[in-house]
Chain A
Amino acid sequence: MKLKTKQAWTGVGFALPALLGVFIFYLIPYCISLYYGFTLQNQFVGFGNFAALMKSNTFWLSMKNTAIFSVIAIPLAIVIPLLISLFLSTFDKHTGFFSSLFLSPMIVPAASVIYVWQIFFTDYGVVNSLLQKLGIEPVVFFKGPWSMVLLIVIFVWKNCAYNIILFSAGLRKIPRDVREFAYLDGASRTQVLTKIVLPLLRPTTFFVFLLTVISSFKIFREAYLLYGMYPDEHVYMIQHFMNNNFNNLNYPRLSTASIVLSIFIIAVMLIMFRVERRSDIA
């Protein structure tokens, strides 16, 4: 008992710096945001700020674009690395080399990456020059729906490597015997994949999903560097809305939007955890 108490306090002691950080830099500002969300010029306005936010066309535009981006980019950033990992797992050697190679986009600073992408995809860039030489109409990548495509491609490209490493590690944890027994029992490759590999890979997939969702919120860096503060309406993301309202010193709207967004993210995360737990029980 004595030992347990001592261990508990030691644990608290070690966790304390992190807890303090969360308390000071997350919880207190969040509470302040809550206060601003319900006030205007230091006067309580109830849900007035929320009502104004719901009427904001730009808020809904940013939500729509963020949703489109998330629905397309997150699955792609999971499925493509999974397929590559499955492919790499068929090799007995040299997978480490490929994994390291794929990791390079993560190492290069965002600004440098964007500079290279600009060289490739501007109106007079490499890609359009090639298209023109092939007799194909040049594509305006920085305008219209193509701007979203470009952003998704950058996101998938940047996150592929890390997810490959995670999936590869997850695949290595699955014992070869299990698969070999399945093949001996007459299971096809598809059956082994869907009935054995993917279910056993579920914890890794969930972890990859969480990291990719978090990473998707960081795409603003690339979007900002590529398209600026006021981009094409197809790539005006929720982070643009927040950042611009910050610059415009519109703190009630900023606070309200951050509260709505945090509630949404917490809800999505809770659903995902519940789904994960249920599938574990099943």
Chain B
Amino acid sequence: MMKPISTRIRVIVTKKLLCLLLTLALVPLYCACSSGDTADSEQLTYYYSQEYRDDMAETIKRYNRWCSSHSTEDMKIKLVEFENYETMSQRLNIEVMAGGGPDLFSNYQDLPFEKMIQNGAFYDLNELIGNDTAQDKLDLSLYNQTILDAGVFDGKRYYLPAFYRVPVLVGDKAAFEKFNMPTQQGYHLTFDNMDEVFADYLQEPGGYRFMSSNTQNGGINADTVVFKLVNAQTDFENKTCSFDDGFKEKLELLTQLRELSQESQSESSGVTESDDTPILFQPVYSISNPIWMETLINLPEGVGDIPRVSDPVLYSYFEKDETTYSAAIADAIFVNAGTKKGDKVPAFLKYMLGEHLQNLYTGTDEEYWAGGGMDALPVLNSAFDSCIRTAYNMTGDYGEYLGVKDELSPATQALIDHIGHINSVELNYDLYKTNYDRNVAIPILQDYWDGKFNADKCADNLSSATKIYLLE
């Protein structure tokens, strides 16, 4: 039986209304998908936040100015600025999860780089550099191979470091003598010999704090020493780990040293709450640039509240073993594997690894304090040589040139020797930022420090969690 025409019309109109409603409901979805989408831009993109220091963003700003002055506007990189770090991080995560995101990443962003490398989320930079048809093609043989090859996994180059740091410890010779610690420059402090080195200090700290407990101090503090110990038990490449009895002993010893680093200590430990409490290892000297080191050693008044160390002695920074000399990447660039603008990347890489910027950020250029660098080392060999030459310069209180020194201080010379031995490179200088430490090691260690369990259980938990992390 046929329906009356009026009913059929009503049904058709209702259907159309419903379709319209359905379509309207999808509008916000499409809006959400397209809002702020920068992937369609002709320019390479990079996200950064004003909240924290990001030298890569500064480099890009310089690069963009350089592009303007060289009439290569189309090669500029679009900087997407976020007011706070959290917003940027959320946006980055969502976009990368959706297979998009900016074209460039750097280790200033808290991304799970180790896992992303495994997942093939980054472009093989060897391929990008190899495809560059420009005459001034990047010649990687001019750079520090040990540092540069840190970004190579299974023959593919997933990131390019621009600057690196060499964590070292510097303290006062008189204090070291007081605690019967070795006083030779460049002493190779390892997790294996630390019990002997600090035996007397642990017996009687004599009012000395061990080192800074300030977590903002450029990645070196009493906590990160423990993180480094945990990392030393883990072979990320072969996906194995060992948290044996030796580890437990070292963990307990380092926890003691960590407690001696706290700003507020009870009288019973021999460390007072006074602001003038001397520190065994001065945090300001956790600086790897010879120019900076030489400057600090020679400043008559010290820096800020930290007094000058009159007779500095340099130690390596808790190495894994006798043969390991470690460094950490300060700035590294990654390229999104999904980028459609890979041809524009080599120009930026050449600028970032070029002589001008490499010299500028390490203090050998006329813009001495520019860029906020200074504490890092350049990967370009000629810039590194220039950095050492500059360390010989004598400067006045206002940075004015006064002449050339005959020789560097013994601590700076020991630092240069140490740099020459580097054979192990980590991606992050600040261990609070690595994916493994942030998600696996730190929560367990924090529970241990809070007294929720003992060292045995801590080692067990670390072992169990690390095994899962490595295989995941």
Contact = CB atoms under 8 A, between A and B. Distances in A.
A28 to B, nearest CB: 7
B306 interface: no
Given A16-B21, A42-B338, A249-B112, A244 B472 contact: yes
Contact of B471 (A42, A56, A122): A56
A1 interface: yes
Interface string A101-135: 00000000000000000000011000000000000
A249 to B, nearest CB: 5
Interface string B314-345: 00000000000000000000000110000000
A20 B119 contact: no
B67 interface: no
B119 A252 contact: yes
Contacts of A13: 18
Interface in A248-268: 248-254
B93 to A, nearest CB: 6
A167 interface: no
A246 interface: yes
A180 interface: no
Contacts of B111: 249
Contact of B25 (A24, A123, A246): A24
A58 B121 contact: no
Nearest to B25: A20
B115 interface: yes
B97 A251 contact: yes
A264 to B, nearest CB: 20
Contacts of A276: none
B99 interface: yes
Interface stretch (A67-75, A157-165, A214-222, A227-235): A227-235
Nearest to B119: A250
Interface residues of B, number: 44
Interface stretch (B143-151, B216-224, B422-430, B460-468): B460-468
Contact of A251 (B98, B435, B466): B98
Contacts of B435: 248
Contacts of B466: 230
Contacts of A246: 97
A40 interface: yes
B29 A40 contact: no
Interface in A2-54: 2, 5, 9, 12-13, 16, 20, 23-24, 28, 36, 39-42
B472 A248 contact: yes
Contacts of A64: none
A245 B468 CA distance: 12
Nearest to B441: A230
B405 interface: no
B457 A143 contact: yes
A247 B3 contact: no
A236 interface: yes
Contacts of A16: 18, 21
B472 A42 contact: no
B454 interface: yes
Given A12-B18, A20-B25, A249-B111, A230 B465 contact: yes
Given A241-B472, A249-B112, A41 B338 contact: yes
B464 A41 contact: no
Interface of A: 1-2, 5, 9, 12-13, 16, 20, 23-24, 28, 36, 39-42, 56-58, 61, 122-123, 140, 142-143, 228-233, 236, 241, 244-254
7 contacts: A1-B3, A16-B18, A56-B472, A61-B468, A142-B453, A230-B439, A248-B119
